[in-house]
Structure 1
Amino acid sequence: MNATIYRSVDGILETFNSLTGHQQSGITHPVMQSAALTPVLTHPKVSNISKTGMGIIKTVKVHLRHQDKNGVESRSSSGNRQVSSDRLTKRSVDLMELGLAKPRNCHRIVVLGAPKVGKTNILQRFLGKEFEEHYEPTIEDFHRKLFYIGGEAYQIDLLDASSERDFPAKRRLSILTGDTFLLVFSLDDRESFNKVCELLNEIKDAKAKLLKCNLHRVPPVVICGNKADLKAQRVVRQSEVVEGIGEDVTFFETSAKDGTGMEAAFSALATLGRLPDEMIPSRHEMISLFTYQSMCIGRSGRRGSRGLCAPCAAVDPLACRPSFTSDLRLVLKSSTKNNKPERCQIQ
């Protein structure tokens, strides 16, 4: 809090003390003042003076809010400059829009698979959260994790497009906007594996038409056979997986519950996306979004800042899925990148 604010609050509280006759020596911090005044304000005999005091306290609160809205820069007790909260975004953070990340450092991972195979818990692992035993159908289908690695900001969007299984055009659009793909099936559910094989072919077909390249080109896909901890219930063997998806597709047996294979799968996603390996959850520190924004704003525009801090990351709790119009524009832009475009076929 600004020293100016301290002085103005102290002055108001001195006035309050003179009115009530309540003296507090040596207490200047507003929180301590408030605590010390509590007995007077809660005394059963409410006088006109105490009502006046309540009015003064309200004035203090309004005064503080007014200064905060005006973006008053604060200084710590040591005199170091801190970032005002008014300069920090109070909505979903888009690093590219804010000019804090290069386009190549903004990446989207599209997650697909049948219901109840563990996609949400795998995503929770990536976001640095704990495994949830109780199953609930996915509601939040979009997540954003922000990294600061080697002096550069990165933005990773995670889109769970599984809820779009009944809307082929929407799912195809989600596939077209993906940079890398995470396909998940359960080792105790053969039908979920068959679904992954279908999705893999759908991704190959959609990307081939968008990029106008060979249909057999392997897209950047990582496939997870989840629930490896349920060995007794396993029905899909590794030989069947290799036969179904081919030897050139990256495959891991994983368990979101006990962490088996998770590090290797996340490392493969980073490699395929040409992203730093420090994006693996065990290789960076989780910090709050407020701290992350403060750090990025403080370092933006500085040169030679590479390596100034250890790899860290924050989850954006306000992240929301971009509109389908935005996604369509993104697809049309990438289709015109290298040659004259044809009409983008979503259907």
Structure 2
Amino acid sequence: MNTTEKFYLPVDGILEMFTSLTEHHQSGIMHPVLQSTPLAQHPKVSAIVKTVKGCWRQQDKRVVASRSSSSGIRQVSTDRLPKMSVDLLELGLTKPRNCHRVVVLGAPKVGKTNIVRRFLGNEFEENYEPTTEDFHRKLFHIGGEAYQVDFLDAAGERDFPAKRRLSILTGDIFLLIFSLDDRESLSEVCELLNEIKAAKAKLVKLKHPPRVPAVICGNKADLDSQRVVRRSEVGKILGEDIPFFETSAKNGTGLEGMFRALANLGGLPDETSPSRHQIIPILTYQSLCIGQRGRRGSRVPGLGAPCAALDPLACRPSFTSDLRLVLGSSTKHNKPEKCQIQ
């Protein structure tokens, strides 16, 4: 079975059904999504599928609360959330040029998660927990236009080259982070930068590595006594054509300039910086985008007031969707000879 087709069943209430079914079908149970098989038409299998769907609907609300808690987003009542993730491009509420995916890469423990938290408008988290993969979506309304910025923190892809390559190929902007107190993390950023250049060049079949829309971030500037990497070294190693910022996710040093650099690379307004807009509820944002007026007394900002909302249901698009995106972009230049992530 293709890995993109795997899914996990809720356990509660399902075990008894499978036990009953296997008493009559000792040969084993096929995956319920394989609808073409005779067993999939069995009435008890159909009942299992219906039960699973019902469990998923119930679990969606619990997952939202869990994701909100783990990512630092303020928890809200599930009956005040949208029914699904908000994709402005699919809904026809913005232009393709206003949608960007920022891929965050770097060695472990350099502060990637906290820098993303800062962009989302959340506070610094002192306790370290390894990130496997995190996907965030922030929706902006600035100057009467809607913008969508997706952040993919691909920390868990260090040991999976094909998966990391797919993330690189689908990225529009790259945020490469190392720690100023860890020289090896700078070496890893150099390797990642070369990997990005090679992947993008192969995608569009260029002979020479293209210029990468990337920002380099040397984090933990607050630990000055432990610093082992100097700014002059970074310029010699990485060159002067890529924006470099010394930052501190803990006290906010350098973050404003770094966020503005990301915005400039994507052609986004400066108001996408966290200090330049206010956060509004996701449902208020949806109403604003479709041109509905809030009720009397509501706090719906005017069209000229920069605002943003966090999508609490955002999740990374499927690998199948990303592969189609990659193959589609490559055919604009030349028909690919093989899958570009291999």
* Fold in common (TM above 0.5): yes
1:188 and 2:198 matched? no
1:316 and 2:316 matched? no
Letter aligned with residue 152 of structure 2: L
**Cα distance between partner residues in 1 of 2:130 and 2:328:** 34
CA contact (8 A) 1:88 1:294 kept: no
> Residue 265 of structure 1 aligns with which residue?
258
> Residue 202 of structure 1 aligns with which residue?
195
1:175 and 2:165 matched? no
Residue 119 of structure 1 deviates from its aligned partner by: 0.4
Q: Which moved more, 1:275-284 or 1:219-228?
A: 275-284
Residue 340 of structure 1 deviates from its aligned partner by: 3.8
1:155 and 2:139 matched? no
CA contact (8 A) 2:134 2:153 kept: yes
Give 2:340's match in structure 1, choosing from 318, 321, 345: 345
Letter aligned with residue 176 of structure 2: L
1:135 and 2:128 matched? yes
**Cα distance between partner residues in 1 of 2:80 and 2:273:** 30
Q: Percent identity?
A: 76
Correspondence list, 1:9-48, <5 A: none
> Residue 27 of structure 1 aligns with which residue?
none
1:332 and 2:322 matched? no
User: Secondary structure of the residue that 1:111 maps to in structure 2?
Assistant: strand
Q: Which runs of 5+ in 1 are unaligned?
A: 1-84, 301-306
**Cα distance between partner residues in 1 of 2:157 and 2:132:** 12
Q: Which runs of 5+ in 2 are unaligned?
A: 1-77, 294-301
Residue 220 of structure 1 deviates from its aligned partner by: 0.3
Correspondence list, 1:69-148, <5 A: 89-139=82-132, 141-148=134-141
Deviations 1:190-212 (A, max 9, x none): 11111101000000100111122
> Residue 212 of structure 1 aligns with which residue?
205
Letter aligned with residue 156 of structure 2: S
In 2 relative to 1, CA 297–87 (structure 1 residues): closer, same or farther, beyond 3 Å?
Answer: farther
In 2 relative to 1, CA 299–275 (structure 1 residues): closer, same or farther, beyond 3 Å?
Answer: farther
User: Secondary structure of the residue that 1:91 maps to in structure 2?
Assistant: coil
Letter aligned with residue 320 of structure 1: C
Number of residue equivalences: 257
User: Secondary structure of the residue that 2:262 maps to in structure 1?
Assistant: helix
Deviations 1:52-77 (A, max 9, x none): xxxxxxxxxxxxxxxxxxxxxxxxxx
Give 2:222's match in structure 1, choosing from 226, 229, 237: 229
User: Secondary structure of the residue that 1:298 maps to in structure 2?
Assistant: coil
Residue 343 of structure 1 deviates from its aligned partner by: 2.8
In 2 relative to 1, CA 343–189 (structure 1 residues): closer, same or farther, beyond 3 Å?
Answer: same
> Residue 270 of structure 2 aligns with which residue?
277
> Residue 26 of structure 1 aligns with which residue?
none
Residue 222 of structure 1 deviates from its aligned partner by: 0.1
CA contact (8 A) 1:210 1:344 kept: no
Letter aligned with residue 158 of structure 2: R
In 2 relative to 1, CA 299–106 (structure 1 residues): closer, same or farther, beyond 3 Å?
Answer: farther
Letter aligned with residue 156 of structure 1: V
In 2 relative to 1, CA 249–311 (structure 1 residues): closer, same or farther, beyond 3 Å?
Answer: same
CA contact (8 A) 2:204 2:334 kept: no
CA contact (8 A) 1:164 1:170 kept: yes
**Cα distance between partner residues in 1 of 2:335 and 2:281:** 44
Letter aligned with residue 293 of structure 1: Q
**Cα distance between partner residues in 1 of 2:158 and 2:208:** 23
Structure with the greater alpha carbon radius of gyration: 1
Report runs of 4+ in structure 1 exceeding 4 Å deviation: 85-88
When normalised by structure 2's length, the TM-score is: 0.72
